[in-house]
């Protein structure tokens, strides 16, 4: 029984790590696309990111990594699924903004 628990925990950790990598990658892509749209003349809709760090790939990547580590540390890795599912529409929105502005 203990082996089964260990296997399940290990599988959940792997899933959490993969979702975390996806979340961080999508955040970095979002920062890159946001920077491009801002150069083209768009404005940042997120009031927190509008303060200036919204297009910083390094800062957004670090913030995303801290979020992933905290969620995995506090055994809330299941929230990464929802965070990772929420990022593609944002990235798609930025991609469409670039496409429409250029």
- Per residue in 3-61, pLDDT (tens digit) is 555 555 567 778 888 999 999 999 999 999 988 888 888 888 878 777 766 568 888 89
Closest to 13 in 3D by CA, of 65, 78, 82: 78
Closest to 54 in 3D by CA, of 78, 90, 84: 90
Q: Is the pLDDT of residue 97 over 60?
A: yes
Residue 11 near residue 78 (C-beta atoms within 8 A): no
Distance separating alpha carbons of residues 8 and 68, to the nearest angstrom: 20
Residue 71 near residue 9 (C-beta atoms within 8 A): no
Check residue 87 and give its pLDDT.
Answer: 96
Domain holding 25, by residue range, is: 2-101
Number of domains in the chain: 1
pTM: 0.84
């Amino acid at each position: 029984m203990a082996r089964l628990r260990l296997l399940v925990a290990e599988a959940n950790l792997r899933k959490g790590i993969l979702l975390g990598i996806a979340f961080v990658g999508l955040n970095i892509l979002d920062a890159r696309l946001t920077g491009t749209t801002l150069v083209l003349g768009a404005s940042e809709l997120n009031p927190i990111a509008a303060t200036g760090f919204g297009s910083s790939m390094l800062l957004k990547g670090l913030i995303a990594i801290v979020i992933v580590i905290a969620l995995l540390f506090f055994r809330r890795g299941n929230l990464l699924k929802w965070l990772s599912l929420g990022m593609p529409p944002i990235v798609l929105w930025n991609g469409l903004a670039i496409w429409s502005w250029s």
